[in-house]
Structure 1
């Protein structure tokens, strides 16, 4: 099964434009990775499973309503922001990273795909003063310090089916980390959504921002 077929397997209602954009990722990331290494050499062959499909696990937890705003903190090469921007063209994704070379890749791919609802910026989370409905991320650090970085960037006015907050892609045993954070949370097992063995210990963590 090629990469795009894997995405279609789990998201059968994609538009032709979405399919085209997901297919383009399979060309764009290897090209960029040859210039600026944002994905490990062994992982580039598993791009669709370990990066794109993994990012889209958030889309199995929530169907972002139009006008939803998301801040992707520590986006690296654009995950989970770019796959989610393709999936939700009526929502906006601001992808940030402190490393300029990574943001060069992000903006290069955004431009190549003509994604009007996404932008990359070299900036630290602590320097962001805007408000968003959700902060999304892939395991940048432990939840307790991460929460402190971004707690003031999340709007308290929720209109999606999940309360505004953090949607965090994490792996492994999270009991100690969640106990340390002392926050209300919900864990979603990604292997409830996907068959691939890679996702056996992977989770989406939703931490709502409460008023």
Structure 2
């Protein structure tokens, strides 16, 4: 399900969380269009966040570390292939869906949240970036009907037990063997009890080993196939 190594560069220059440099510290080979889209994220989110608060004031100043690079931990461990259909459950302000949509322009992303104002921001950001591979829905997870996806992604919106319960009806049966499938979510802290209660046997990847920045201590990519 997960690739054996992250798609990371060897750049080791110092970079701060409020700069695009912290992303370039770990990822290389972006196209000019991708670079432009990533660099446009900060002004877009700062502008919209003043109108509709979807990111905390403290975190907006560390957007690239705490939101963009965190989201791209999924890209570092899962190689999404062209044509895949991915749903981001509880996308909030668009994470991890928006950074992943930039990273994987040939993958289709459907970003869902039950809070309308958050989806309004997501739609505005996607339009501002000219992301043609993003659709959105103001909807509860349980109300997503008549669509099947190759992969569910999410970031700390619910216990693993609930996330997996919501994900199963949305996933294609008998997915191609060469594609990542199932649920990939971003979580933090001691997950032992949560995993036990879920009944799942997920694979955990320590994000701090991918991106050795203080913020990523005790943060994990959790994958259920």
TM-score, normalization by structure 1: 0.95
Partner-residue secondary structure (3-state), 1:58:
helix
Gaps of 5+ in 2: 1-14
Question: Conserved in 2, the CA contact under 8 Å of 1:126 and 1:150?
Answer: no
Find the counterpart in structure 1 of residue 217 from structure 2. 200
Offset of 1:163 from its aligned partner? 4.3
Q: CA distance change for structure 1 residues 65 and 37 in 2, over 3 Å: closer, same or farther? A: same
For 1:101 and 1:184, the matched residues in 2 are separated by: 35
Q: CA distance change for structure 1 residues 160 and 138 in 2, over 3 Å: closer, same or farther? A: farther
Q: Which has a greater percent of helix?
A: 1
For 1:92 and 1:203, the matched residues in 2 are separated by: 24
Offset of 1:192 from its aligned partner? 1.2
The answer on 1:15 being equivalent to 2:44 is no
The answer on 1:186 being equivalent to 2:222 is no
For 2:51 and 2:180, the matched residues in 1 are separated by: 40
Moved over 3 A (4+): 159-163
Find the counterpart in structure 1 of residue 114 from structure 2. 98
Aligned length, in residue pairs: 208
Find the counterpart in structure 1 of residue 156 from structure 2. 139
TM-score, normalization by structure 2: 0.89
For 2:52 and 2:143, the matched residues in 1 are separated by: 25
The answer on 1:51 being equivalent to 2:54 is no
Offset of 1:162 from its aligned partner? 5.8
Question: Conserved in 2, the CA contact under 8 Å of 1:190 and 1:200?
Answer: yes
Find the counterpart in structure 2 of residue 65 from structure 1. 81
For 2:135 and 2:179, the matched residues in 1 are separated by: 24
Offset of 1:161 from its aligned partner? 4.8
Offset of 1:159 from its aligned partner? 3.3
Gaps of 5+ in 1: none
For 1:161 and 1:184, the matched residues in 2 are separated by: 21
The answer on 1:88 being equivalent to 2:101 is no
Question: Conserved in 2, the CA contact under 8 Å of 1:98 and 1:122?
Answer: yes
For 2:178 and 2:201, the matched residues in 1 are separated by: 17
Offset of 1:156 from its aligned partner? 2.5
The answer on 1:76 being equivalent to 2:102 is no
RMSD: 1.2
Partner-residue secondary structure (3-state), 2:183:
strand
